[in-house]
Amino acid sequence: MSTLPQDARSTILVPGRLTAASIAPVWQRATQVLARNPDRAVIVDASELEYADASGIALLFHLLTLKRSHGAEISIRNLRPKVDAILKRFDARLAQNTHAASSSPPIVERIGQAVVQNLREAALRVQFVGKAVAALAASIVRPGRMRWGQIVALIEAAGADALPIVALVGFLMGVIIAFEIGNVARQFGAVLYVVNGVGIGLLRELAPLMTAIVFAGRSGAAFAAEIGTQKVNDELSALTTFGLDPAAYLVVPRLIASLIAVPLLAVVADIAGLVGGALVMLRFDVSFTQFYYQLVSAAHVGDVVIGIAKAAAFGVLVAGIGCERGLATGIGAAAVGLSATRAVVASIVVVVAADGIFAVLLDRIGL
């Protein structure tokens, strides 16, 4: 026990073992003793201390370096020479600024930084579009240089593998809109015209839109994550030092694959949706034959072509955004996830906006 003739209220008694697991109450008691004796000398009795890990050393160091007023200093007694030697190794400056730097800059500065950051990103995006178009044009001029094997593999991953989900989504869209419009139309005895609504709605709008959204979720995210991971692993730097432009090497095959795969997926969604619609129309006493003739008289080849053309445009947009987000990936594994998320969100917003622009333009030219 302590041999010091010292008032217990101003003494901090250090236990035999100071380890991370048991130090919390000791630290709290030390803080209390110091708070209770603001102008009185405090003694730290370390005679029982046998073992201290890093946190124990940290407590002693904290007590040793604490700034106190004159006459209220802290003195550590009976410290083992070995522990003392360890403590002497540390620079007193370590004790300052123990609260991690968390002070954020003022709001004006943050807004300014965000604006600059966004403008920079916007500039990069414009640059990317230019590069991608140039690279695409260059590879169309010289199709022999294209790596068709990779494009076929991409079409398989982004197109063929997406068939079941696109067919399912298309089928359900057909079922749902036929059912909803059918219930309303039956009240006016216009059940047959439901076929017009389902046909035109699906072919021109819903099939390409839903296909593009599924494509953004599956492949847009995958493109961003793949290219982002390649960037994190320095693969993009390797390409650049080989004299290859990553934009051309990685982006063009994906753009071409999407240009081929997404319209085909949209056709599948068209067919699945019409099948779903026709099945629901049976419930409203419209036979398959009636459905067919009504559809042919209501929808034209132009509607199918417009839908497919829109799907192609959406596909290129989604693939381009996915690749751009991938190339813009920051550092670290978390950045890859962020890029994939951003790619999906940006793709869906851009696709819906583009759909609106298509609607206005097609209306203007009377299609």
Partner 1 sequence: MAREIIRAENLTIGYGSRVLLQNVSFSVAQSEIVVILGGSGSGKSSLMKHVIGLYAPLAGDILIEGKSIVNAFGPERAALQRKLGIMYQSGGLFGSMSVLENVRFPLDEFTDMPDEAKNLTARMQLDMVAMTEAQDLMPAELSGGMLKRAAIARAMALGSDILMLDEPSAGLDPITAANLDQTILSLRDLLGFTFVVVTHELQSIFAIADRALMLDGHARGIVAEGKPAELRDNSADTRVRQFFNRLPDARAEMAA
Dist. CA 100–CA 108, nearest whole Å: 23
The sign of the dihedral angle between the CA atoms of 198, 201, 203, 205 is negative
Q: How far is the CB of 105 from partner 1 (least distance, A)?
A: 15
Residue of 61, 171, 215, 223 interacting with partner 1 (CB under 8 A): 61
d(CA 95, CA 93): 5
Question: Is 107 near partner 1 (CB under 8 A)?
Answer: no
Binding residues for partner 1 restricted to 109-168, rule: CB under 8 A: none
Q: Name 146's Cβ contacts closer than 8 Å, sequence gap at least 6.
A: 139, 252, 253, 256
Measured CA to CA, the distance from residue 199 to residue 205 in angstroms comes to 10
Provide the minimum distance between the beta carbon of 14 and partner 1 in the complex, in angstroms, as a whole number: 14
- Footprint (CB under 8 A) of partner 1, residues 294-353: 331-334
Nearest distance, CB of residue 329 and partner 1, angstroms: 11
Q: Which of 8, 92, 100, 141 forms a contact with partner 1 (CB under 8 A)?
A: 100
Instruction: Measure CA 190 to chain center.
Output: 47
Question: Alpha carbon of 307 to those of 27, 163, 329, 359: distances in Å?
Answer: 70, 18, 33, 11
- Select 62 or 77, whichever has its Cβ closest to partner 1: 62
Closer to partner 1 by CB, 75 or 96: give it.
96
What is the smallest separation between the CB atom of 94 and partner 1, expressed in angstroms? 6
Residue 31: CB minimum distance to partner 1, A? 8
Considering only the stretches 99-107, 112-120, 165-173, 313-321, report the one whose residues sit in contact with partner 1 under the rule CB under 8 A. 99-107
- Stretch in the footprint of partner 1 (CB under 8 A) among 7-15, 82-90, 183-191, 296-304: 82-90
Instruction: Considering the complex, state which of residue 98 and residue 241 has its C-beta at the smaller distance from partner 1.
Output: 98
Measured between alpha carbons, how far is residue 260 from residues 83, 139, 206, 246, 269 in Å? 72, 16, 19, 22, 15
Among 72, 86, 152, 172, interactor with partner 1 by CB under 8 A: 86
- Applying CB under 8 A, among 33, 58, 210, 312 the residue interacting with partner 1 is 58
Number of chain positions touching partner 1 (CB under 8 A): 33
299: region left, alpha or beta (phi > 0 left; psi from -120 to 50 alpha)? beta
How far apart CA 215 and CA 347 sit, in angstroms, is: 9
Q: Which of 89, 108, 144, 289 binds partner 1 (CB under 8 A)?
A: 89
Map the footprint of partner 1 across residues 4-23, applying CB under 8 A: 19-21, 23
Residues 26-45 contacting partner 1, CB under 8 A? 27-28, 31
Decide whether 333 or 360 has the Cβ nearer to partner 1: 333
HEC per residue, 150-163: HHHHHHHHHCHHHH
Min. distance of Cβ 39 from partner 1 in angstroms?
Answer: 22
Nearer to partner 1, 36 or 186 (CB): 36
By CB under 8 A, name the binding residues for partner 1.
19-21, 23-24, 27-28, 31, 53-59, 61-62, 82, 85-86, 89-91, 94-95, 98-101, 331-334
